[in-house]
Structure 1
Amino acid sequence: GGEALNGMRVVELLREDGRVTGLLAEDCETGLRYGFNTRAVAQATGAWADQLRRKTGLEHIRPLRGSHLLLPAWRLPVAHAFSFMHGADKRPVFVFPWEGATVIGTTDLDHTAPLAEEARISPDEVTYLLDACAQQFPAAGIGAADVLSTWAGVRPVVSDGDAGRKPSDEKREHALWVEPGCVTLAGGKLTTFRLLALEVLQACASMVGRTADDHGAATFAALSSQPMPSLSPAQQKRLIGRYGRALPQLLALIDELGVEPVVGTDTLWAELAWAAEQELVLHLDDLLLRRTRLGLLLAQGAAAELPRIRALCQSRLGWDDARWQQEEQDYLALWQRCYSLPIDD
């Protein structure tokens, strides 16, 4: 029964007599603001959590940046993940296969840039990760010229405020803050998502007059088998895992558009069409960096493929020529700023 609203920013929580009674949200595309009345707000906004919750003064979010380098698989082919300690600071670092490429990551630094800006790797982080690769694979001779793309994220680590503690020494435990009408979750790990979600729902339950129980049922319903003769077993496994119950609709697009992948990747052209039609794409970076990963996997953010992407997706997105040209310009500027190798100021 839920409804997802994309591109909506919560401006503030509305309170009456010490209780959260709703929220004010802004449509980032139009600037229009909307009020919502609520019985309970579940806030799971990561590093942004402190901007809205009523703080107790005991704990706060310490934003920590983790950055990665992505290499073509042929340049550093690995069959499984390697984990080892970096020689400079004894932190664990990983080299692993991902999406048909190879990733080196990650760093762990205080993120001091404004959270409203897209996170990006620093020159020092590039050097740190290349040094890690040279330590583990000295014969490969990996250098900056081998890097296809970079990306960075911000971890919402819950800290007790000890300024002397190194980022990597902070605990990764989650925290749950409850005030009347609002539950805020921060911290934790992706691998415990179900337990964290249940904890949030149970904290909200009394506010909405419901119960929240987990009886150990399967997270996803079993899929009915459907013949896919045009796809290899590896392609079938990948698409079943990614699209679940939406697979029949995707297969209809594959019947229409064929099984051709975007060169150099496992992503089918039909998946781009599906994302444009079904996955709430507001801007070109949504399509190429999040709904698909082509902007990370292909040189220069997939610039060479943009004409064909335009031919396939422009009408599906409902953009006129002027809109597409502006989106392309904005996307390439964003990619250069935040997803390529940085320029050392």
Structure 2
Amino acid sequence: MKNKRQFSVHERASQLKRVTSRLFDVVIIGGGVTGAGIALDAISRGLSVCLIEKNDFASGTSNKSTKLIHGGLRYLKQLEIGLVRESGRERAIVHKLAPHLVVPEKMLLPLYEGGTYGKLMTAIGLKVYDFLADVSGNDRRKMLSVSETIEQEPLLKKEGLQGGGYYAEYRTDDARLTIELLKKAHVLGAEVLNYCEVVSFGYTEEGNMDTAHCLDHITNEKLMISARFFVSATGPWSDVIKQLDTSKKEKTLQLSKGVHIVIPRDKLLLRQAIYFDVDDGRMIFAIPRGKVTYIGTTDTVYTASLKRIVITRKDVKYLIDAVNRMFPLAELTIRDVISSWAGIRPLVYEAGKTPSELSRKDEIFISKTGLVSIAGGKLTGYRKMAERIMNTLFSIDDSIGNRATKGALTDEIPLTNYPLQSREEVVLYRMQLKERLASLGVEDEYICWYLVSTYGKQADKILEKITHFNNEEVIEKLIRAELWYGVHHEMVVTLSDFFVRRTGYLYFEIEKIKTFRTVVASDLQNYLGFDIAEMAHQHQVLDQLLTDATTFYETE
């Protein structure tokens, strides 16, 4: 029997009928991690939920972070104790919910004379950090001597080194986290639409917002969605939505651009992730991931267009110079960069402060028409941001609060339908998958690591599909099976959805796009029935993304 709630564009027609024929408790605008978290929280409490995103899910900031679920050590220096406590405890919860996707990453913090962190203050700070974040076991911090620090990472510069701090962060894939949240919300009954844009709002005679007038970019249909509450979780686009509501009276956000560059792993053979000083007083990460190492991030005021965010040569030079100073033998040049990404952080504006000085706390705004907007915040805090939104809605309308479960349930809801329960289960499953791949002729351990860290046990469905493709090399079959899974289970609509947001190939295995683009495009066209003009447009969009990931401009 066909699944009536398949998370696929194949169900678009019936889904559009459903969203236009009922009154929702909550309509969420924005399909990044914040919106996804709100959708899951609301639907799990028993409310009716619709989420709409004008592009693809996680196509904005939620695909372009440093990809860490971290406790925010630097916020301790800024004395944001509450933020450190919340972030540290939240990362433990998210790791429990998706241990294949949120994984421990040992972090080395080298300490230098005159650096951001002194040895004594680091020892105290990391101990406080462990306490606030409720860190236990092997994840607790260790202080290292000079010789121990060099042994841990021989590539570090020796001059001025005073020792190191060794502690745990958690690495993730931000776009994958977002898509799993949305898939789970959908399973529980939420209506979730990508490529559906709000173009205006409707109001009651009393001036309260009651409808969103939308354009579905897939069918070109205009539709009207009704709700008791509308929540804008659009990140950098929050002020744009407020302008549609005519509720933007003054500056709310200060946008900050963060750039990351990707280099081949053999260009900087780090033994673990490093968090290190830059000459201007900031700190950046260098994080090994599979076949590459990525480095970031910058933190500069951004005032250019949100339609296309490019990386400048100045951005790249900043990061390369920082790496070469910290790792003198690296001798990186701009030619070593194989990919990159630039994201925009929606920081809450405070007069006179630089982006690095602004708080990463989230803030909620309520317009006179009832539009609820949330801005600021961090990837790590998506669950608590959702909880604060729900509390805000309940405080406005007792009736909706009376129908919903009072406390958040999302700390106990696994993020996949076939959850792995612990680190140990992840390791065991990876061993099993390795044997299955070997039986298919795949000996590359990286592929096994990629499948598990990307899909968890959902990788089973991909491997099962491989047998449906004939006469190709096994790696090509695997890519085709991934696309099939993406189209039928993860709302993939375009080439960019697949190559960028669902797989991360644009950033971490860019050569696969060049190798498998043609067969992926052919399969996508067959699955979704696109005409030649639509496919030409999709290739054009992907070409632009490839260019922007590998080209560095003189100006923004």
With the length of structure 2 as denominator, give the TM-score of the two structures.
0.54
Equivalent position to 2:252, from 60, 63, 73: 60
Q: Which residue of 2 aligns with 1:230?
A: 436
Residues 1:18 and 1:79: Cα distance change in structure 2 (over 3 Å): farther
Describe the shift of the 1:302–1:223 C-alpha distance in structure 2 as closer, same or farther (beyond 3 A): closer
Question: Hey, what does 1:173 align to over in structure 2?
Answer: 361
CA contact (8 A) 2:495 2:521 kept: no
**Residue matched to 2:227:** 38
2:480 and 2:272 mapped to 1: Cα distance?
A: 27
SS at match of 1:139: coil
Please, which runs of 5 or more residues in structure 1 have no aligned partner? none
**AA partner of residue 414 (structure 2):** F
Counterpart AA for 1:344 = E
| Closer, same or farther: CA 303–242 of 1 in aligned 2, 3 Å | closer
**1:250 equivalent in structure 2:** 462
Task: Letter of the 2:229 partner, please give it.
Answer: A
- How far apart, CA to CA, are the structure 2 residues paired with 1:220 and 1:248? 18
| Counterpart in the other structure of 1:107 | 298
The letter for the 1-side match of 2:337 is V
CA, structure 1 residues 85+218, in 2 after alignment: closer, same or farther (shift >3 Å)?
A: same
- Measure, in 2, the Cα distance between the counterparts of 1:216 and 1:34: 31
1:220 and 2:414 are equivalent in the alignment: yes
Q: Deviations over 1:97-124 (max 9, x none)?
A: 2353111111111111122x12121121
1:46/1:187 contact within 8 Å kept: yes
Which whole-Å CA distance do the structure 2 matches of 1:260 and 1:197 have between them? Answer: 42
The letter of the residue matching 2:309 is A
Unaligned runs of 5+ residues in structure 2 are 1-188, 439-444
Identity of aligned residues (%): 27
- Answering whether residue 267 of structure 2 is matched by residue 75 of structure 1, we say yes
**Offset of 1:3 from its aligned partner?**
1.1
* Greater mean alpha carbon deviation, residues 144-153 or residues 94-103: 94-103
Within the alignment, does 1:340 sit opposite 2:550 as a pair? Answer: yes
Q: Check the 8 A contact 2:454/2:503 in 1, yes or no.
A: no
Cα contact 1:260–1:269 (8 A) shared by 2: no
CA contact (8 A) 1:250 1:274 kept: yes
Per-residue CA deviations over 1:307-334 (Å, capped at 9, x if unaligned) read 3433544423433455434422332133
Separation (CA, whole Å) in 2 of partners of 1:259 and 1:241: 23
Question: Aligned AA for 2:258?
Answer: G
Mean Cα deviation higher: 213-222 or 183-192: 213-222
In 1, the alpha carbon distance for the partners of 2:218 and 2:409 equals 41
Q: How much has 1:149 moved relative to structure 2?
A: 1.1
After superposition, residues 199-218 of structure 1 pair within 5 angstroms as 199-205=388-394, 207=397, 208-209=400-401, 210-211=403-404, 212-214=406-408, 217-218=411-412
Q: 1:153, CA displacement in angstroms? A: 0.7
1:245 CA displacement: 7.3
- Cα distance change on mapping 1:306 and 1:32 into 2, 3 Å: same
Q: Is the 8 A contact 1:182 1:204 kept in 2?
A: no
Correspondence for 2:167: none
User: Which of the two has greater helix per residue?
Assistant: 2
- Counterpart pick for 2:504 among 274, 284, 293: 293
Q: Distance in 2 between matches of 1:183 and 1:245?
A: 37
User: How do 1:272-283 residues align onto structure 2 when only pairs under 5 Å count?
Assistant: 272-283=483-494
Worse-matched range after superposition: 174-183 or 308-317:
308-317
Deviations 1:118-160 (A, max 9, x none): 2121121011111111112221111111111111011010013
* The 10-residue stretch of structure 1 (249-258 or 273-282) with the greater mean CA deviation from structure 2: 249-258
Q: Cα 1:326–1:185, aligned 2, differ >3 Å: closer, same or farther? A: closer
Describe the shift of the 1:301–1:168 C-alpha distance in structure 2 as closer, same or farther (beyond 3 A). Answer: farther
In 2, Cα distance between the equivalents of 1:28 and 1:178?
A: 29
Can you list the C-alpha shifts for 1:226-261, whole angstroms capped at 9, x where unaligned?
875404798667545543575553343245459944
1:69 Cα deviation (Å)?
A: 0.7
Whether 1:144 aligns to 2:334 is yes
SS of residue paired to 2:341: strand
How much has 1:14 moved relative to structure 2?
A: 2.6
Deviation at 1:79, TM superposition (A): 3.3
Q: Which residue of 2 aligns with 1:97?
A: 288
Q: Contact between 2:197 and 2:214, CA under 8 Å: does it hold in 1?
A: yes
Which residue type is aligned with residue 135 of structure 1?
A: R
* Aligned partner letter, 2:303: T
User: Cα gap change, 1:77/1:302 in structure 2, threshold over 3 Å: closer, same or farther?
Assistant: farther
Q: 1:148 to 1:218 in 2, by over 3 A?
A: same
Query: How big is the shift at 1:300?
Result: 6.6
Q: Say whether the 8 Å CA contact 1:277–1:317 is kept in structure 2.
A: no
Match of 1:19 among 199, 208, 218: 208
For residues 169 and 114 of structure 1, the distance between their equivalents in structure 2, rounded to whole angstroms, comes to 23
CA 1:203/1:240 → structure 2, altered by over 3 Å: closer, same or farther? Answer: farther
State the secondary structure of the residue aligned to 2:554.
coil
Letter in 1 for 2:259: S
CA distance in 2, matches of 1:342, 1:216: 41
- Shift in CA distance, 247/2, structure 1 to aligned 2, threshold 3 Å: farther
Deviation of the 1:175 alpha carbon: 0.1
Q: Structure 1 residues 35, 314: CA separation in 2 closer, same or farther (over 3 Å shift)?
A: closer
Ranked by relative contact order (alpha carbons within 8 Å, sequence separation 6 or more), the top structure is: 2
Cα distance in 1, alignment partners of residues 333 and 464 from structure 2? 43
Q: Which residue of 1 aligns with 2:180?
A: none
Q: Secondary structure at the match of 2:305?
A: coil
CA contact (8 A) 1:157 1:170 kept: yes
Does structure 1 residue 309 correspond to structure 2 residue 520? yes
